[in-house]
Structure 1
Amino acid sequence: MTDTVRSQAVAALAEAEKITATILPEANAAQVTLAAAPAPQAEAIRKRMAELDMGNTQSIISFGSAAQQELQVISQQMLEDVKNKDVGPAGDGLRNMVATIRGFSVSELDVRRERSWWEKLLGRAAPFAKFVSKYEEVQGQIDRITETLLQHEHKLLKDIKSLDMLYSKTLDFYDQLALYIAAGEAKLAELDAIDIPAREAAVAAAPENDQVIRAQELRDLRAARDDLERRVHDLKLTRQVTMQSLPSIRLVQENDKSLVTKINSTLVNTVPLWETQLAQAVTIQRSREAAQSIKAANDLTNELLTANAKNLQETNRVVRTEMERGVFDIEAVKQANATLIATINESLAIADAGKAKRAAAEADLTKMEAELRDTLASAKARRDGVGTTTGTAV
């Protein structure tokens, strides 16, 4: 909440307390009479009796209406204000603020929560970034609702002042009705006791040709008297309704004052408390995030120390082992020597086998050569013998 709004809220609170401290007068339910009225009231009653003209019907019908004109002007102004504003906007503003705060989920503070693949796919912010964004959004909403509530508060203060004026005018109208009712009842008593009996005597004393006119005048006076009696009765009903409206005005005022007090309490006390708690939540979360970062760094350092120690141990083992070894391992020399001896023996065996095979082959070749020679010699002998025999026969 800005400093300007806060100062306006404090000023509105002071004005609301001033208006709330105003005590309105109570209505006097007792009906005053001309005989029992003190001198100022008796003079006022006689003044209103003088407004009556029993020969003018309009005078009787409009009797007491003058007191209502100023009240009607104020009532019409208030009705116009009611038409120009929404119904229950202040209550809606308070409910919106509560809903805004309730929508701020502190569970989103868990930075250790891994984003789901769906959140990563949609490019959603990390939990803490989302939390800060939500905090800024809520702060903006609170500021806007605070300004709206302050506007509603000014309207309610204006309504309370208007209701004070309406109550004062209604109470004045209530007292004026009492005077008009007293004047009407006094006029009725005067008519019944003086004017109508005088007209009746005039009818009785009138000549025969004037009696019809005098009788009509008597009838008109009695009719006017009945009209006045009905008008006085209407004024009594109006006074009763007016008496009932006074507590209603006071009740509406009390409700508006209570709402103004609630708005001020919200603006001056609750909203700063909410803002403080939200700011603390962000600060605490940032501290937690920093602590998590430090913890991660320390854990990484420990892991590096442990890993380096293990690597040093393994490397030292390999290096020392290689350093203690000869140029050739004795096992490798023995194996190479055995392999060499086996190779030499194998070569000698192969050479002996080859020599034996060659000797056998030479014997076979000598035998095959002798056999071939014998075969050729035998063939030649048979060819020579065949030729001799053939020549002799020829």
Structure 2
Amino acid sequence: MAGYHQNLDQQQAPAFFARGPSPLARLAFFSALSLTLMATDSRLQYLGTAREHLMVVLQPLQFIANAPSMLYDSTNEYFSTHHRLLNENQYLRKQALVQAISLQKMKTLTLENTNLRQLLAANQSLEEYSQLGEILHVGRDPFTKKIVVNRGSNHQVVDGAAVVDAKGIIGQVTRTYPASSEVTLITDKSLTIPIQIERNGLRAIAFGHGRDNTLDLPFLPANVDIKPGDKLVTSGIDGVYPKGLAVATVTDIQTSADSPFARIVCVPTGGIENHKQVLIVSISQPDSVANTSAASQRANNNDIAAKTTKPEASQALAGAAKTPTNKVPANAPVTNTPTAPAVQAAATSAPATSAEATQHKQPAVATEPSTSHKPHAQD
């Protein structure tokens, strides 16, 4: 009986602290809040400035976090074997000779192509602005393929710029920060590239596979003229990637009787595993470079205009000296014409610009109608 009363007292004892909502209610509230903030940010982009400032603050921490791996890489590279370096040096010398021959042939073809374009009055290719960058770190998200480079908006990097290495296309700049940029690799499933088969000129769209480092060429018929080993290059029709850059190599072609389309698998030619240097290429020049070019062009135009005003002023003097006075009929009395003072006045009031010179030339034109009244005077 005493135990029963004790349990009853414990059940009816008031709580000293409020427990608040249940854990399930808290989970639902914070989940709804997170979804609301994500939807608002995706439409209004009000957290962009906060991300930039946060990236600047976290950059030293990222450097400290990457310091052990950088130290390990530097130590491993320092203690590499002498035999491996000799073999690599010999291989690079051979490659340099091959590239030198290819460069000479390319110069000849470029000159020939330029002459053909001039003969056909074709448009010249767009000028490409490029700068060297270095990979800081690779993204840790397994569902996206992204890297971060050490060039940002302070270095005139713009969204949409292509990122390449010595072998081909790596990706595209998708977000810029003041001192760094985020690059989405071509193997990401959200990125597409207009490509062209180097062998036959066939154009298609390459999609990133996402799960592995491969590309797909979907929606091509089973009898398409593509073979394993074909090289894929950029077609340049999108205005983002320069034309003719290597993209990938076809490795496998699978056909099925149940589908009219072939599954074409390609492996990118460029990679980020062997080196850290990349090249950021933009078809359109940044605003600072374009403003500099425009300023130099305006300066050249002003110099040309200043040089052309001097001959116009001398022509104005000559025109004022040669301008005849009003013609007088033959039977009219002869009067002294003050030509010398008129010429002197024209010389003293000679303009420095072509606009004022034309104003002094107008009286010479206006005197012509007075000569057309000569027959009426004689009548």
TM-score computed with the length of structure 1 as normaliser: 0.19
Say which structure is richer in helix: 1
Relative contact order (alpha carbons < 8 A, sep ≥ 6): 1 or 2 greater? 1
Say which structure is richer in strand: 2
Larger radius of gyration between Structure 1 and Structure 2: 1
TM-score computed with the length of structure 2 as normaliser: 0.19
